[in-house]
Chains A and B, each alone.
Chain A
Amino acid sequence: MSAPAVEVRGLTKSYGAITALSGVDLRIEPGQLVGLLGPNGAGKSTLTKLICGLVRPSAGSATVLGHPAGSMASRARIGYLAELFRFPQWLTPDEVLRLHQRLACSGGGAVERGALLERVGLVDLGPRRVGEISKGMAQRLGLAQAMIGSPQLLLLDEPTSALDPIGRRLVRDILVGLRERGASVLLNSHLLSEVEQVCDSVTIIDAGRVVASGSVDGLRGGRVVEIETEAGIERFEATDREAIPARIRELVDAGRSVYGVRESGSSLEDAYLEAVKGAGE
Chain B
Amino acid sequence: MSAATLSALAAGRAIAGYALRESLRRRILGVVGALTALFLVLFALGAHFAFEDSGRVGSELSTDGSGFADYRGATLLGLAMFATLFLGAVLATFLTLGVVRGDAEVGLLQSLLVRPVSRRTILVARLAAATMIGSAYVAGVFAISIGITALFGGYTPDNPIAVTLLLVLAVIAITAISLLASVFLSGTAQGITVLMIYGSGLTAGLLGQIGDALRAETLVNISRVTSWGLPFEALYQQALYMMSADRSAISKAVLGLGPFGGAVHSGPALYPFVVAYLIAMIAFAAFAFERRDI
Contact = CB atoms under 8 A, between A and B. Distances in A.
Specify whether A and B are partners: yes
Interface of A: 15, 49, 52-56, 72-73, 75-76, 78, 80-82, 84-88, 90-91, 99-100, 102-105, 142, 145
Interface in B243-294: 291, 293-294
Given A54-B110, A80-B110, A84-B107, A100 B115 contact: yes
30 contacts: A49-B293, A52-B114, A53-B113, A54-B113, A56-B291, A56-B293, A72-B4, A72-B116, A72-B118, A73-B116, A75-B114, A76-B116, A78-B114, A81-B111, A82-B111, A84-B107, A85-B107, A85-B108, A85-B111, A87-B111, A88-B18, A88-B22, A90-B22, A90-B26, A91-B21, A99-B18, A100-B115, A103-B11, A103-B116, A103-B117
B7 A105 contact: yes
B106 interface: yes
B25 to A, nearest CB: 4
B116 A88 contact: no
Contacts of B22: 88, 90
A243 B29 CA distance: 72
Q: Please give me the 4 A-B residue pairs with the lowest Cβ-Cβ distance, nearest first.
A: A103-B115, A102-B14, A90-B25, A76-B116
Interface of B: 4, 7, 10-11, 14-15, 18, 21-22, 25-26, 106-108, 110-118, 291, 293-294
B110 A15 contact: no
Contact of B14 (A72, A86, A88, A103): A103
Contacts of A91: 21
A102 B11 contact: yes
Nearest to A78: B114
A103 B14 CA distance: 7
A70 to B, nearest CB: 10
Contacts of A75: 114-116
A52 B114 CA distance: 6
A87 B114 contact: no
A54 B7 contact: no
Given A75-B115, A85-B111, A103-B15, 7 more contacts: A56-B293, A73-B116, A80-B110, A82-B107, A87-B111, A88-B108, A91-B21
Contacts of A52: 114
A76 B26 CA distance: 30
A80 B111 contact: yes
Nearest to A102: B14
B100 to A, nearest CB: 13
B80 to A, nearest CB: 33
A11 to B, nearest CB: 14
Nearest to A145: B111
A231 B117 CA distance: 66
Contacts of B293: 15, 49, 54-56
Nearest to B14: A102
Given A102-B11, A105-B7, A53 B114 contact: yes
B10 A105 contact: yes
Nearest to A50: B293
Nearest to A83: B107
A104 B14 CA distance: 11
Contacts of A80: 110-111, 114
B15 to A, nearest CB: 8
A55 B10 CA distance: 25
B294 A102 contact: no
Contacts of A87: 108, 111
A91 B22 CA distance: 8
Contacts of B21: 90-91
B294 A49 contact: yes
B107 A104 contact: no
Contacts of B25: 90
A86 B116 contact: no
B137 to A, nearest CB: 20
B105 to A, nearest CB: 10
A82 B106 CA distance: 12
A142 B291 contact: no
Contacts of B291: 56
A267 B188 CA distance: 49
Contacts of B7: 105
Nearest to A54: B294
A64 to B, nearest CB: 11
A73 B111 CA distance: 16
